[in-house]
Amino acid sequence: MSIITIENLADTKGPLLGIDPGTKTFGLAVSDTTRLIATPIQTIRRKKFTPDAAKIFELYDDRKCEAIIVGNPVNMDGSEGPRSQSVKDFCHNLLQLRDIPILLWDERLSTAAVTRTLLEADTSRAKRSGAVDKLAASYILQGVLDRLRL
């Protein structure tokens, strides 16, 4: 496989794994089998590529996922900077290990939206820091699920 489009994703069935790739952590979320709801799973601290990829593939296999959705941190003007290139490189490295569909999804403001929601819920700083990455992954994945239903 390769990096796919949303149209290619519509041709698959089954759960999707969402990833919010940060510089220090990965937020992970999964959809239900009917692709209606994204649920945050966990946040994992980044180590090196090989153990990170192994953890991602373990969750992918355990949840019987059909594709991975990866948040692409494009700039506010729509251009792609160094962080976006880093995410693309990460996806290409994953594809060197496994032939699976990967969709890059614009994640602009996902972390800000999730943080704002947590602040409005009066969530403590400690709880916010532990939850924001997996909730951002869920937010990104839910965007894809909503788009697939259009």
pLDDT digits (tens, 9 = 90+) for 74-101: 888 888 899 999 999 999 999 999 999 9
Predicted pLDDT of residue 129: 58
Predicted pLDDT of residue 122: 58
CB 17, CB 56: distance < 8 Å: yes
Q: Give the domain CATH number at 81.
A: 3.30.420.140
Q: Tell me the pLDDT tens digit for each residue of 1-44.
A: 589 999 999 888 999 999 999 889 999 999 999 999 999 999 99
Cα separation, 114 vs 133, in Å, equals 9
Predicted pLDDT of residue 75: 83
User: What radius of gyration, in Å, describes the C-alpha atoms of the chain?
Assistant: 14
Tally of structural domains, the chain: 1
CB 18, CB 140: distance < 8 Å: yes
Domain that holds residue 111: 3-148
Instruction: Give the residue, 65 or 23, on which the prediction is more confident.
Output: 65
Given a cut of 80, whether residue 148 has pLDDT beyond it is yes
Predicted pLDDT of residue 135: 87
Predicted pLDDT of residue 44: 93
Q: In the chain, what percentage of residues exceed pLDDT 90?
A: 65
